[in-house]
Structure 1
């Protein structure tokens, strides 16, 4: 919502100020299609040249994320902690054998099925199951599991940030591409040097529209969208860090409820449930671990 408001304010302030100052929109509107074709087309071409198909898909999906906001809400964090509570409690109270059916086939697990949004996220599900599976191997050094989890998170986050980096690279290139369009406009103007001054003035003004568009799109639109996308991806990464916090706490011998409380403390403040809310969620959580 705020992104849409921001875009409206951006266009209103820039073009409104230009018009109020006596600027004529006719020059911009006349040159806009050609300049946008050169600048926008070159920017998209550079994006296609410099990125893998998976990154390009991420860029397309990223625009939806920018306007939709963070994927994980307060209830999702409560569900995740409830799921981890049941899994770690099952492991402590009933042993590894009772846990195996849940981590080997999470889609058929009576615990995972209670939390469909977590189950739908393949990385979260695999991260939980793979880590618990490592714990069942009776590794002598628990820090090995911590290190493995950290590397998995770093890899996933690096890959998730690729679309935001691609969009930022596009923003960085736009001012230079605007100059390219402007230079082409100057070349066109110089080829018509015998025309009257009013004609040349319009042609020079049209050429300068290219420089304006490159800078305007870079710093007013594409750059902020890239920054917002990165912010959302960084925020969503906190969800996976909670998994790490809870399972590491469990790995060090803490009770299931203590491990969950440690994880709750790492939830971003805007989505963090209170102690009482989390306690109520755990009390109401289904206990069937069959």
Structure 2
């Protein structure tokens, strides 16, 4: 896409966990609007496949292998993006993980893994990206939250805590960086058909039926459902929207 308020030509995006699932959906949305996209992920082969897919859309794309829980690695990831793609205008903090256990069975090492991957990584990447985002004067940060920032489930204590933290982190960052011309928003995915949720459907009996019954759209979400929200929140169309948390869940979270 070129021209118009959704045009991202000349802008550079970094998408953590952008080599599959929701992350790749977000990356596709940015690429379709003309942004150059850096895919960050731990799996080099998946990164390469994502770059090939984004390049086929006509976008300039590259990838970097990074551990987003490591402070030095995050700094190197941001530096690589700015050096290889010519700057950084859009940061998508998407990388995440989940380890399902009841609260009384929660192991400290698993808690730390989930919190560090889902929440601390967003702080590290945002902090490292700030000088680049500020320099361009219209920086964008998009954080991947979850509908579990709205309500709870018994097997998702660490995940829910991390995603609730993402929403509050988003609000605080939005107020801190507004003067720098940077907007910061979160998306709250519902039940989306990804590798993670396919495993959940195996582990949690009746999940598929319950999701379909409660979702007004009567389907699971697809990673492609995130292309539009990525384009919107990264573009000039959302210039006066910051600190928000937008559900992308087919209406699941508004059902009683």
Write 1 or 2 for the structure with the bigger share of helix. 1
Higher radius of gyration, 1 or 2: 1
Write 1 or 2 for the structure with the bigger share of strand. 2
Tell me: higher relative CO, structure 1 or 2? Use CA pairs within 8 A at least 6 residues apart.
Answer: 1
TM-score, normalised via structure 1 length:
0.26
TM-score, normalised via structure 2 length:
0.28
